[in-house]
Structure 1
Amino acid sequence: MIGDRIQYYRKQQGLSLEELAQRAEVAEPYLKAVEQHIKTNPSVYILARLANVLQVPIHELQKQEEMLDKEWLQLTKEAMDSGISKDEFRQFLDFNHWESDQ
């Protein structure tokens, strides 16, 4: 996850969370939330600031750890082609979670 990569490079540079936040001009509580996976999608603007301080290319912070397997990609494509919206899919997942809790 992105927070793990930020933390890895931060520690590699010997920076505390507070130091990185100050140097990158990012709120420390926000940075802490990213590293703890509470916030999982920091903006490119924030990532660029962090990458600059950490002396790594921004793509190192953004790279995907896992790719979807071919079956998931095919299912996703079929759902999109059939006209299912993201909201409808979320409702389906919510219903499935609710149903399994019953």
Structure 2
Amino acid sequence: MIGYRVKTLREEKKMSISELSAKSGVAKSYISSLERNLQTNPTILVLEKIASILCITVDALLYEQVDHSMDDEWKEIMKDIMGSGISKEEMREFIEERKCTALEN
């Protein structure tokens, strides 16, 4: 459900409903009803606003399952990263920065 994913992602970012509302321009009451699954058919515009603030794609809100399979090239890239001495935290920070930058453009 979209509402559950919004709530989970918002909480992962340690963001209140009020903060998400202020930053996205979506009414606090609407976000609350979305998270409680009282509002089950949000518009794409609302989803885009929320996704942008959460630094994710609209697809991440719409679809429960994401294909996590890795092809051989990705496996090689991951081996290179693991062998480079970059910590998990540094890699996570890099990825989060890139997600937000990509969504802003």
What TM-score range do you get, normalising by the shorter chain? 0.5 to 0.7
**How far apart in 1 are the matches of 2:57 and 2:30?**
21
Deviations 1:50-92 (A, max 9, x none): 0000001110001156xxxxxxxxxxxxxxxxxxxxxxxxxxx
Partner of residue 17, structure 1: 17
**How far apart in 2 are the matches of 1:32 and 1:63?**
20
Give ranges in structure 2 of 5+ residues lacking alignment: 66-105
Between the aligned residues of both structures, percent identity stands at 29
**How far apart in 2 are the matches of 1:31 and 1:2?**
11
Deviation at 1:10, TM superposition (A): 0.2
Deviations 1:10-62 (A, max 9, x none): 00111001100110000000110000010001000000000000001110001
Superposed CA RMSD in Å reads: 1.0
Give ranges in structure 1 of 5+ residues lacking alignment: 66-102
**How far apart in 1 are the matches of 2:4 and 2:32?**
11
- Give the 4+ runs in structure 1 shifted more than 6 A: none
Give runs of aligned pairs for residues 56-95 of structure 1, distance below 5 A: 56-64=56-64
